[in-house]
Structure 1
């Protein structure tokens, strides 16, 4: 054994490793050096596939081997490789021909005429993560010396370094290719977002890149764009898209809005059904924002962890979708500002030319010469509603108007939304009822509390809008002050309610408590029915017999009660002035308590 030549040869190989030369060639040179300088006949580096139960040739040096001849895999059950890996120690077989411990080597040693075998584990894995061993074979029976083992250990270390270098280079190459792919996708998606105004087209380009099913939530139009099915056993892709659009839409919009209210991402349980079956998966939500304002969400459905490369692609997809939605948002806001300016001129009566305002109205599809109604939508606690929810309601009603009544226009106001609704040529209560029902349904998709919807009388001339909106605002103020929900109008509230809007409700309540409070308190403390008696007496038009019949008492009993009321509370029921004051207090009290 010429140690100096071996070390010189290994030094050259180490230089090749640092120069990042071909790894298979370097490994073959290492095996050749071991065989040539340490007197082994041939050698093989093998990958151990524990799952399949076989060892596979990675690199082989055999000077006598005919190309494409010789086995390329061995069953692990008959090989010492498992023993070497288990104990992380070399396994030496002095004479494989006579050793029955490893039948595979015994059979082959007789066929190939070799004797000693050394199997040494290497402290690394191949590119597939499989452990590796170095096997050396000698024709003669060898004596394994400690110096030989030390030199073989050095060879194994160089081989390990070569393989780790190869994996490092491959990892860098893969990372560079992935970054290049991400950059390419990013440029592609951003170009599409800037050149095409369709969110649906952009979502269709993004979807095939990911293995996970995804949903794109577009709050600028209140739509959801589904991709492939999360479970083909439940739904195929077409069935899934129909199911999302027809049944899951509202729930997904609400889930995304509530889950992303506190941050940019959220993982929540997502349930979907088919018949009596229910499936649950994780919905990984990523918010889409423009200037810190939520405009949508990108949702991935599935329990699997998202690969790192996909996380980079998700960021690019989010940016592209946000840009696309930003364009929609800017266009929507521009139209809203122009429409708001037009509407303010109408309701303030500040327009100077009927022709000018008629032409500007036509840009929004509004014919000012036709009959219109104004529908005012608001909430009792409008100030407490989050801006995101208010924006969602505005977009939802605009989208509803676009598809249900294309000639309707939606305008944002400080504490509510106004729907500028064309009146049909042959108006019917059913039409208005249908419109308000759809508005109610759409608003409650975004906020569970029932809103208040005030309806104006028809506007036929430009001059009508200022008057009708003033009355409409008055109706809304009354309805909200009385905590009324649902659809209201001036005729429904009555003239008394219309008078209340200009009054100080606190002062009115103080006056009512002064007039009726003692009677109500006496009834509570003495279990009398004076307040009920007075209320029925007023409702009966101060007629004794009719009031007695309503109370199901004898008229004599009624007269006794009335006399007691006069004595206890000093009410003068004979005076028309006092009657009026008392009746007004009584009716206002009932109105405020409704």
Structure 2
């Protein structure tokens, strides 16, 4: 081949190789151009999977092939392709039919009647990243021609560049398509949000977008929504949703609050397992913020052995739609809560002028003053907590506790206190409230480092009774704060001590207790003795030795010894009605200050 023919062949090769941006077409044009312009009969381009130890034919050129089935895979041990790649140079087999070093080509050349084989490495890769080689075959024995080899290397270089360009263009097309799909999915999700779609429906839409089960945590709406099960073989959808609400709700919300203060993908995995070890899942958590405040979280769930590949753009689109949805919920909740708080402020401060107007406003907010309501007041004694989403957290706890019976509670804030108003239409429901109050205290202690003082137990019907009950609650809250009480304080309908506490200062009451029985209490605490209980039982029994000893499970002589010790060590005697009254009153005051 003279120089003019080589240039013409090279020009034809460039023209044919550049005629398409489709990868498969580029490869077909490349192998066809090589064979047509360099005198080789047929050829193929293979991708070499070194780890799997085989070469995969990607495209083949053979004008003499007549409907024959040829192998598409070659074992690398029987092929020169691996040698060409390792040495990064062509492998020339002058007569394949006698090439015992390459038994695969030897058998194939004898079956298909070809002789010379040239295998050349390419400087490109397939879509999986495997290196590629080109093999050309001649039916006649050909001598090694350095000039022809140089022409082939030039065409291969141009072809490799065309392959890489086809890869880039395909990646661009794929990226453009992905962006279009993301925009369309984003449009649909925002359409769901703007159409005021329910959270369960939006959760389903997010699952369809991400192709993975999800959990939506909405702190503003105090709700958790679970979609389909990450492992239907272990839990069906209904069981999974129940498990999320009953078992995973607390660890998910706790993890969301912690992760809201951290960053990085390694920090965003949460383990979800039941206490019995029957099932375990992993969640990829994305905190959702509104104006820098944690408002919720999106949890993408999967089995421990099945980590999904999440598209960052689709994930961000889902998070944006959920933030908008939560913002709408937060706006509605804030508006309703503020309106209810304004009405309650007028009532508890007795500032209303028109009782009918206040009653109607309360009714419009779901607060029917004609229905018996149970009142509980949570006092955190820290005004700063009210600015950090405290009402939202308390409302979330109450929603979960009352979910089984239908939540009709109202939650509102006043100063640094939270009011919980719950309709109580029957005596049976009042008994149910006792267990709810205990459960509420457990939840509050688990959710907040400093448990609040909670006053409960009062029921009212009507505007003025509500205001009167609030005044009484206020006295009890003052008593609790004066004595540093935390926990549950139940109001007593018949207790006159409540009025005594409110009439006396806290320092007066403390001094009275300390002067009467303070030494006994301190001694019991320091030495684990039972003098206080002995004195209490002695006074309850009317200062009679035998009934008191029986109540304490003691011998009369042992009881007499304890009474003598109290007289000797503490100077405590109950030999007159006045002294007995002083001791009984001190004991009552101490027990209230200690246990309420």
TM-score interval for Structure 1 and Structure 2 normalised by the shorter chain = 0.7 to 0.9
- The 8 Å contact of residues 10 and 151 in structure 2, kept in 1 or not, is answered as no
> 2:217 corresponds to which residue?
217
- The 8 Å contact of residues 124 and 160 in structure 2, kept in 1 or not, is answered as yes
User: How far apart, in 2, do the equivalents of 1:237 and 1:479 lie?
Assistant: 47
1:500 partnered with 2:498: no
> 2:247 corresponds to which residue?
248
- The 8 Å contact of residues 391 and 412 in structure 2, kept in 1 or not, is answered as no
> 1:127 corresponds to which residue?
127
User: How far apart, in 2, do the equivalents of 1:268 and 1:108 lie?
Assistant: 54
TM-score, length of structure 1 as denominator length: 0.82
User: Helix, strand or coil: the match of 2:96?
Assistant: coil
> 1:188 corresponds to which residue?
188
CA offsets per residue over residues 482-514 of structure 1, 9 Å max, x none?
Answer: 53533511348x332443245443454345445
| Aligned pair partner of 1:438 in 419, 427, 436 | 436
> 2:142 corresponds to which residue?
142
User: How far apart, in 1, do the equivalents of 2:82 and 2:366 lie?
Assistant: 81
CA offsets per residue over residues 81-124 of structure 1, 9 Å max, x none?
Answer: 23333443322111112223333433443444432111112122
Mean alpha-carbon deviation: is it higher for 278-287 or for 495-504? 495-504
- The 8 Å contact of residues 254 and 445 in structure 1, kept in 2 or not, is answered as no
Mean alpha-carbon deviation: is it higher for 533-542 or for 352-361? 533-542
> 1:475 corresponds to which residue?
476
1:156 partnered with 2:156: yes
User: How far apart, in 2, do the equivalents of 1:322 and 1:107 lie?
Assistant: 66
User: How far apart, in 2, do the equivalents of 1:57 and 1:136 lie?
Assistant: 13
User: How far apart, in 2, do the equivalents of 1:212 and 1:555 lie?
Assistant: 72
Cα offset for 1:134? 0.9
1:348 partnered with 2:349: yes
Cα offset for 1:471? 0.1
**CA pair 414-322 structure 1, distance change in 2 beyond 3 A:** same
**CA pair 160-463 structure 1, distance change in 2 beyond 3 A:** same
**CA pair 254-444 structure 1, distance change in 2 beyond 3 A:** farther
**CA pair 472-160 structure 1, distance change in 2 beyond 3 A:** same
User: Helix, strand or coil: the match of 1:173?
Assistant: helix
Cα offset for 1:585? 4.3
User: Helix, strand or coil: the match of 1:217?
Assistant: strand
> 1:485 corresponds to which residue?
487
Mean alpha-carbon deviation: is it higher for 18-27 or for 154-163? 18-27
Cα offset for 1:29? 5.1
> Which residues of 2 match residues 87-486 of structure 1 at below 5 A?
87-245=87-245, 247-263=246-262, 266-272=267-273, 278-302=278-302, 303=304, 306-307=308-309, 310-378=311-379, 387-388=388-389, 390-397=391-398, 404=405, 408-424=409-425, 427-428=426-427, 430-441=428-439, 444-445=442-443, 447-448=445-446, 453-455=454-456, 457-479=458-480, 481=483, 483=485, 485-486=487-488
User: How far apart, in 1, do the equivalents of 2:485 and 2:590 lie?
Assistant: 14
Q: Which structure 1 residue ranges, 5 or more long, are not aligned?
A: none
CA offsets per residue over residues 529-575 of structure 1, 9 Å max, x none?
Answer: 9877866665565778877888834999799778757xx96999769
**CA pair 522-96 structure 1, distance change in 2 beyond 3 A:** closer
User: Helix, strand or coil: the match of 1:161?
Assistant: helix
CA offsets per residue over residues 342-374 of structure 1, 9 Å max, x none?
Answer: 112222222222221222222134443444442
User: Helix, strand or coil: the match of 2:460?
Assistant: coil
CA offsets per residue over residues 433-486 of structure 1, 9 Å max, x none?
Answer: 202323543564465277654335443442222211010222234345453533
Cα offset for 1:244? 3.3
CA offsets per residue over residues 170-194 of structure 1, 9 Å max, x none?
Answer: 1111111111111111111112111
User: Helix, strand or coil: the match of 1:448?
Assistant: helix
Cα offset for 1:127? 2.5
User: Helix, strand or coil: the match of 1:144?
Assistant: coil
Mean alpha-carbon deviation: is it higher for 155-164 or for 75-84? 75-84
User: Helix, strand or coil: the match of 1:142?
Assistant: coil
User: Helix, strand or coil: the match of 1:235?
Assistant: coil
RMSD: 4.2
User: How far apart, in 2, do the equivalents of 1:423 and 1:37 lie?
Assistant: 94
**CA pair 40-215 structure 1, distance change in 2 beyond 3 A:** same
**CA pair 31-360 structure 1, distance change in 2 beyond 3 A:** closer
- The 8 Å contact of residues 119 and 133 in structure 1, kept in 2 or not, is answered as yes
**CA pair 346-74 structure 1, distance change in 2 beyond 3 A:** closer
User: Helix, strand or coil: the match of 1:137?
Assistant: strand
Count of residues paired in the alignment: 583
> 1:71 corresponds to which residue?
70
Mean alpha-carbon deviation: is it higher for 160-169 or for 498-507? 498-507
User: How far apart, in 2, do the equivalents of 1:525 and 1:343 lie?
Assistant: 47
TM-score, length of structure 2 as denominator length: 0.82
User: How far apart, in 2, do the equivalents of 1:570 and 1:224 lie?
Assistant: 59
- The 8 Å contact of residues 407 and 422 in structure 1, kept in 2 or not, is answered as yes
- The 8 Å contact of residues 13 and 26 in structure 1, kept in 2 or not, is answered as no
User: How far apart, in 1, do the equivalents of 2:357 and 2:79 lie?
Assistant: 95
Mean alpha-carbon deviation: is it higher for 284-293 or for 380-389? 380-389
- The 8 Å contact of residues 391 and 418 in structure 2, kept in 1 or not, is answered as no
Cα offset for 1:201? 0.9
User: How far apart, in 2, do the equivalents of 1:30 and 1:522 lie?
Assistant: 99
CA offsets per residue over residues 300-319 of structure 1, 9 Å max, x none?
Answer: 123555536x2211111011
**CA pair 59-155 structure 1, distance change in 2 beyond 3 A:** same
